[in-house]
Structure 1
Amino acid sequence: MGMLASLITGLASGETVAAMRRARTAAMVYLLAGIAALCGVGFLIGAAYIWMANRYGSQVAALSFGAGFLVIAGLILLIYQIAKGSRVRRRAERRKADMTAIGVTAALAVLPTLLKGKSGLGIILGPAAALVAYAIYRENTKPGDRDPGNLR
């Protein structure tokens, strides 16, 4: 409730409008700085091309720059593909954690309703006992013992 009150007070006092103005100004400044940086990089590449063309000839310079940019593109794609596995794994872990949180929240929301009824305690204790038994089983078996095709 306190957060809602501070939000309403912020809206009423105009702090939110001022914050939005500051954010918009900062975004424009960063956009202009980014455009200027890209222009600077373009001129540096052009200057390097002119220097190389004067020193080695325009055909060698063009071939070298073309090959260099293709190597850079290949490296970028290679790094992206290598990092993709970790992103997929991180996304799966986050999804699993979210589903666990949703399950726990749902269980806690239903718990009072189940405990009110006469058979509510039995509904809760049955699956809980099965989960405990399964956890004990998994803890006491070796990793090779769980494979049904493993005949030692």
Structure 2
Amino acid sequence: MGVLASLISALASGEAIAALGRARTAAIVYVIAALAALTGLGFLIGAAYIWAVGRYGPMATSLGFGVGFLVIAGLILVVYQLSAGLRARRRARRRSADMKALGITAALAALPVLLKGKGGLGAVLGPVLALAAYAIYRENVKPDNDTDPDDGQAGR
């Protein structure tokens, strides 16, 4: 309840509006800086092109710059594809941890209600014993194949 009260008081005092204003100002400054950096990069590429035209000629320079930018684009796509599997595994681990935490929280929140109900302690101990038995079973069962199910490579 204290968190809600502090949020309400922060809204009432104008801190949230001031923080929003600061964030908006910072975003505008970063966008302007990014545009200036991209413009500078464009001029540097133009200067390199002009220098290369004087040295190699317009056709060779155009072909060289075109191939160079296509190679850069291809490298970016290859790196992105190679890192996609890692990102997917990281998201799956995070999602699993979040679901476990949610399940534990829900179980702890429901525990007092279950203990006061008709079944009492038996309503709680039955599922807990079943989960413990399943965990022991899973620990003692040998895996079917050599692949690790957590690495995302099974079945490929």
TM-score range, shorter chain: 0.7 to 0.9
1:64 is aligned to 64
Q: For the residues of structure 1 that align with 2:28 and 2:144, how far apart are their CA atoms?
A: 60
Aligned length: 145
Q: Mark the structure with the bigger radius of gyration.
A: 1
Q: For the residues of structure 2 that align with 1:28 and 1:134, how far apart are their CA atoms?
A: 55
Where has structure 1 moved over 6 Å in runs of 4 or more? none
Instruction: In structure 1, give the amino acid aligned to 2:23.
Output: A
1:29 is aligned to 29
2:108 is aligned to 108
Deviation digits for residues 35-60 of structure 1, max 9, x if unmatched? 11110000000000110010011111
5+ residue gaps, structure 1: none
TM-score between the two structures when normalised by the length of structure 2: 0.81
Equivalent residue runs for 1:71-90 within 5 Å = 71-90=71-90
Instruction: In structure 2, give the amino acid aligned to 1:46.
Output: G
What percent of counterpart residues are identical?
67
**More displaced stretch, 77-86 vs 122-131:** 122-131
Q: For the residues of structure 2 that align with 1:58 and 1:22, how far apart are their CA atoms?
A: 49
TM-score between the two structures when normalised by the length of structure 1: 0.83
Report deviation, 1:140.
Answer: 4.5
Q: For the residues of structure 2 that align with 1:19 and 1:73, how far apart are their CA atoms?
A: 38
Instruction: In structure 2, give the amino acid aligned to 1:47.
Output: A
2:130 is aligned to 130
* Higher RCO (C-alpha 8 Å, min separation 6): 2
Deviation digits for residues 90-147 of structure 1, max 9, x if unmatched? 1111111121122112211221121113423222222222332333344445x4xx54
Q: For the residues of structure 2 that align with 1:120 and 1:12, how far apart are their CA atoms?
A: 46
| Distance change >3 Å, CA 122–CA 12, structure 1 → 2 | closer
The alignment yields a C-alpha RMSD, in angstroms, of: 2.0
